Amino acid sequence: NTKGFIFDLDGVIVDTAKYHFLAWKKLANSIDVDFNKEQNEQLKGVSRVKSLEKILAWGNKSISEDEFMSLMAKKNDDYLSYINKMGEDEILPDVPKILNYLKINNQAIALGSASKNARKILEKVNLISSFQAIVDGNDVSKAKPDPEVFLIGAKLLNQKPENCVVFEDSVAGIQAANIANMISIGIGDKNVLHEADYIFKDFTEISTDFIKELVKK
């Protein structure tokens, strides 16, 4: 019995939201726009372009196309300065336990992320070889909640969508998994992720028995 297990990256495998926050805050403040943690929450799972559009809207700013491109590049350079310092110690608790369990039980594993920096981050935390397929922000044209990212992942794993399981920390990601007809597992707050088929605070709450049952389903 083989199923496809598709993992989101940011907020599921590593906590990069804190680095996105620092980089977006610095950028927003540089153009006299306030930026707080609550706003950062609303950028989870949201693409880089869409994130900047939201920040500009919050600050009532309108800028030229050229300036937009330059601000995006600035944000990413700053973000990468944090990413470059990442190491294995930043993998979220019990993620390796679940990945290992899936591997020894011959399950198919993919990454499905909106980030264009996904491969770099996986290399930094030494997890790149854990994934048979990687679908990231460079491979998709439609952002979550569109299911494109997960459907490409399922195809690369040679699995039917209904035989795939998605781990996600964002509402848009859970919606994408549900639209794709996959089993959705929310990682985070149950009040926020209530549309998911199953919800856990983090991977320490997920037992290998639970995974075993999913594989049998």
Cβ proximity of 91 and 13 under 8 Å: yes
Phi and psi for 154 in degrees, rounded to 5? -60, -45
Decide whether 40 or 132 has the Cβ nearer to ligand G6P. Answer: 40
Phi and psi for 134 in degrees, rounded to 5? -125, 120
Q: Does 112 bind Mg ion (CB under 5 A)?
A: no
Q: Residue 216 class from Cβ within 10 Å (0-12 exposed, 13-18 middle, 19+ buried)?
A: exposed
Is 136 an active-site residue?
no
Cβ of residue 171: shortest distance to ligand G6P, in angstroms?
A: 11
Q: Does 4 bind Mg ion (CB under 5 A)?
A: no
Q: Does 136 bind Mg ion (CB under 5 A)?
A: no
In angstroms, rounded to a whole number, what is the distance separating the alpha carbons of residues 37 and 136? 25
In angstroms, rounded to a whole number, what is the distance separating the alpha carbons of residues 88 and 37? 25
Is 8 an active-site residue?
yes
Binding-site size for Mg ion (CB under 5 A) equals: 6
Helix 171-179 and helix 148-156, axial crossing angle in degrees, nearest 10? 60
Binding-site size for ligand G6P (CB under 6 A) equals: 16
Decide whether 51 or 107 has the Cβ nearer to ligand G6P. Answer: 51
Cβ of residue 58: shortest distance to ligand G6P, in angstroms?
A: 15
Q: Does 196 bind ligand G6P (CB under 6 A)?
A: no
In angstroms, rounded to a whole number, what is the distance separating the alpha carbons of residues 132 and 23? 31
23-62 binders of ligand G6P (CB under 6 A): 43-48, 51
In angstroms, rounded to a whole number, what is the distance separating the alpha carbons of residues 12 and 166? 11
Q: Which one of residues 3, 5, 7, 10 is an interface residue with Mg ion (CB under 5 A)?
A: 10
98-157 binders of ligand G6P (CB under 6 A): 114-117, 137
32-71 binders of Mg ion (CB under 5 A): 45
CB-closest chain residue to Mg ion = 11
184-213 binders of Mg ion (CB under 5 A): none
108-112 β-sheet, strand order? 133-135, 108-112, 4-7, 164-168, 183-187, 198-200
Contacts with Mg ion by CB under 5 A lie at 8, 10-11, 45, 169-170
Q: Give the binding site for ligand G6P (CB under 6 A).
A: 10-11, 20, 43-48, 51, 76, 114-117, 137
Catalytic residues, by residue number, are: 8, 10
